[in-house]
Amino acid sequence: MPRPGSLSGALAHTADSTVLVVDDNPANTALVSKVLRRAGLEKVIEVQDPTAVAGLLLTHDPDVVLLDLRMPVMDGYEVLQVVQRHAGDTYLPVVVITADDAHQSVERALALGAHDFVRKPFDTVELVLRVRNLLATRSAYLELRRNRAWLKARLGLFEPDLAVLAGRTDDARRAILDVIESDAFRIAAQPIVDMRSGEVIGAEALARFPAAPFPHPAAWFAAALEVGLTPELEIACARKAITLLPGRPDGTRLGINFSPSTVIDGLSQQLGPVPWDQVVIELTEHVPVADYAQLNTALAPLREQGAKVAVDDTGAGFASLRHILDLKPDTIKIDIGITRGVDTDPSRAALVTMLVTFAERTGMHVLAEGVETAAERDAMLELGVTSGQGYLLGRPEIASG
């Protein structure tokens, strides 16, 4: 029997995780399930037939497996091998729960890929803590894989442009620092328009750099990311964009792009006094967010001063829906890749409809980026998107300042 301990809520932060408990004795699976549920973990699957594990791994995709070693027909070692084949090169932790006191049994299980073990009769607190720790490790592993996948995609996107970086990162750093120090870049403002009336209601600040060594602005920012100068380049661009605010039409706002890490570092400290009630902080979707709570904490004082927040490139980036749900932006900017062809592609139109419906229910605003044809504009208006940005509505213009 387990020994009691303090369990309430210990696994609450992992409540969405799924645990597979495999033991031929239904009393044992029921007991483990009860312990985990009391600790805040609701998705527990009890399995008494070890031959069913292979199918359940495919249909339920568990986050951790708790496994008894001594079972008829198919013992725990064989099940462990099934789990390892399913996991492949991913991380699926297995906790062995065994009454076998022989060290050889545990050693064999660990050698076959088990990650931890608990002896019967188990201490409930120990079991919960071991499960919690493995779930935290799995979460970190999955986040790392997502970040690596994002980085690989990012590098692939700009691979031709960043070929000049091969073995020349020092040159790239100097080029970026030189363009900042010499003020050798300019800011263009692209109008944001009410597509019903054609009225200009805002603008986005877009940086324009020399054509070498990187051929276009996105490549400059990708290079800055690779050499660790993203904050420096973004802040330099933001400072110049802010100088344009006094000349902007009354009642309009200027969107300025920032990566989440730059915001978390503290925009007020880096930029000094800013009339935030004239600014939209545009957060790109192409950059993953490690800690939304930290990002929201950094945004809160700026929002209190009147700043609005927009999620840029929605539909093209790292985690569209989570970005929107966790940041609760004022504006959702639909990526050009969704806008392009929206008048002829039912799938794109359906995605826009979903975003418009969501925005209406949550008090957010939707803006279409990359509107280049009258057909795209008309389709967006029919779908409920009234604000737009793109060459049809106004090209970026280099501003003085």
Q: Which helix (DSSP H) or strand (DSSP E) does residue 64 occupy?
A: strand 64-68
- Give the pLDDT of residue 5: 47
Of the pLDDT bands very low, low, confident and very high (cuts 50, 70, 90), residue 16 is confident
Q: What percent of the chain has pLDDT over 90?
A: 59
- Residue 305 inside a domain? The answer is yes
Check: CB of residue 332 under 8 Å from CB of residue 359. yes
DSSP assignment, residue 12?
G
The pLDDT mean for the chain works out to 87
124 within domain boundaries: yes
Query: Are 164 and 199 contained in the same domain?
Result: yes
For 118-176, how does the pLDDT look when each residue is reduced to its tens digit (9 = 90+)? 988 889 999 999 998 898 888 877 776 765 555 555 555 555 655 556 657 788 899 99
Would residue 133 count as lying in a domain?
Answer: yes
**Is-cis flag, bond preceding 62, omega within 30?**
no
Q: Given this model, what pLDDT does residue 163 score?
A: 57
Q: Which residues pair with 64 in a beta bridge?
A: 19
Mean pLDDT of 97-126: 86
CB of 97 closer than 8 Å to CB of 128: no
Q: Please say which residue of 147, 172, 194 terminates a domain.
A: 147
pLDDT of residue 106: 85
Is position 4 within any domain?
no
Report which of 228, 229, 302 is spatially closest to residue 263, judged by C-alpha positions: 302
Do 132 and 66 lie in one domain? The reply is yes
| Cβ atoms 156, 175 nearer than 8 A | no
Which CATH number fits the domain that encloses residue 298? Answer: 3.20.20.450
pTM for the model stands at 0.61
pLDDT of residue 8: 54
Least confident of 167-171, 193-197, 279-283, 336-340: 167-171
Minimum mean pLDDT among 37-41, 102-106, 214-218, 325-329: which range? 102-106
* pLDDT (average), residues 335-360: 90
pLDDT score of 24 more than 90: yes
Position 48 confidence tier, pLDDT thresholds 50, 70, 90: very high
| Short-list 242, 258, 112, CA closest to 187 | 242
**Residue finishing a domain among 125, 147, 169:** 147
Residue 314 phi/psi, 5-degree rounding, is -60, 130
Q: Rounded to whole angstroms, how far apart are CA atoms 13 and 334?
A: 32
Mean pLDDT of 64-87: 92
Answer yes or no: do 86 and 221 share one domain: no
| 191 and 141 in a common domain | no
pLDDT average, residue stretch 242-247: 95
pLDDT over threshold 90, residue 388:
yes
Report whether pLDDT(395) > 50: yes
Q: Rounded mean pLDDT of 170-196?
A: 95
Q: Please answer whether residues 161 and 215 qualify as being in contact, where contact means their C-beta atoms are separated by less than 8 angstroms.
A: yes
Residues of the domain holding 305: 158-398
> What is each CA distance from 351 to 175, 338, 360, in whole angstroms?
40, 8, 14
Looking at residue 226, what is its pLDDT?
81
Task: Tell whether 342 and 274 lie within a shared domain.
Answer: yes
Residue 91 has pLDDT above 70, yes or no: yes
Integer-rounded Cα Rg, in Å, for the chain is 27
State both tokens at 183: 């003020």
CATH at residue 24: 3.40.50.2300
**Percent of residues, the chain, with pLDDT higher than 70:** 87
142 contacts 119 by C-beta, under 8 angstroms: no
- What's the confidence (pLDDT) of residue 98? 85
Asked whether residue 152 is domain-assigned, the answer is no
**Ramachandran region, residue 119 (left: φ > 0; alpha: ψ -120 to 50; beta: rest):** beta
Are 343 and 376 in contact by the 8 Å Cβ rule? The answer is: yes
**Cβ atoms 366, 334 nearer than 8 A:** yes
The b/e string for 169-193 (b: 16+ C-beta within 10 A; e otherwise) is eeebbebbbebbeeeebbbbbbbbb
Quote the number of domains for the chain.
2
Q: Considering only 41-45, 248-252, 319-323, which range has the smallest mean pLDDT?
A: 319-323
The answer to whether residue 7 sits within a structural domain is no
Same domain for 101 and 24, yes or no, is yes
pLDDT of residue 99: 83
Give 18's pLDDT tier (boundaries 50, 70, 90). very high
The residues, any chain, with a CB within 8 Å of residue 163's CB and separated by 6 or more, are: none
Q: Band the pLDDT of 319: cuts 50, 70, 90.
A: very low
**What is the per-residue pLDDT for 78?**
94
Residues 340, 204, single domain; the answer is yes
- 151 Cβ partners below 8 Å, 6+ apart? none
End-to-end C-alpha distance for the chain, whole angstroms: 75
pLDDT tens for each residue of 204-221: 999 999 988 888 898 898
Instruction: Determine the pLDDT at residue 309.
Output: 97
pLDDT bin (cut points 50, 70, 90) of residue 323 is confident
* Domain closes at, from 123, 147, 171: 147
Q: How high is the pLDDT of residue 1?
A: 45
